[in-house]
Amino acid sequence: MITDEKYARLTTYTRSGEAKTLPIWLADLGDGTCGFTTWSGSWKAKRLTNDPRVELQASDTRGHINEGSEPLTGTAIIAYDADFVRVRKAIQAKYGFEVTLIRLLVWLKTLFGGGGPSDCAIIITLQD
């Protein structure tokens, strides 16, 4: 299962249909969906507002595909409030202390005008 992998490469699509990829942390949400958290101002969140199609594939930390892995397609929604908390807890449970380190780095980055902390969840339903 893709959520057993440490990293997954997420593909989202621009308005013109161009594929954009990046590595993400991904957690199983226990209801047939999976998800991750992000900043609502991120490009991936903006692209999903226009086109909910996604592709996931097991990868390394840089988004290079793992040998023998297969792409999975699905659709994503942007979620807030209770759903955001649920996904954040699932990510924390899976990745532990690494999440704390990333949150600290993001906080430092925001002090210098870059990005923002995760404030939304991306919930993905994969096709069978």
Which domains are assigned to the chain? 2-126 (2.30.110.10)
Mean pLDDT over each residue of the chain, to the nearest integer: 93
7-32 average pLDDT score: 97
**Cα-to-chain-centroid distance, residue 34:** 9
For 97, the token pair is 């202390």
Separation of alpha carbons 49 and 96, rounded Å:
29
**Cα-to-chain-centroid distance, residue 78:** 11
At 97 the pLDDT is 83
At 98 the pLDDT is 82
Hey, which bits of 6-128 come out as E strands? 7-13, 19-24, 27-28, 33-38, 53-59, 72-79, 120-126
At 44 the pLDDT is 97
Separation of alpha carbons 54 and 11, rounded Å:
5
Is the per-residue pLDDT at 100 higher than 90? no
User: What band does 105 get if pLDDT is binned at 50, 70 and 90?
Assistant: confident
Q: pLDDT by residue (tens digit) across 25-82?
A: 999 999 999 999 999 999 999 999 999 999 999 999 999 999 999 999 999 999 999 9
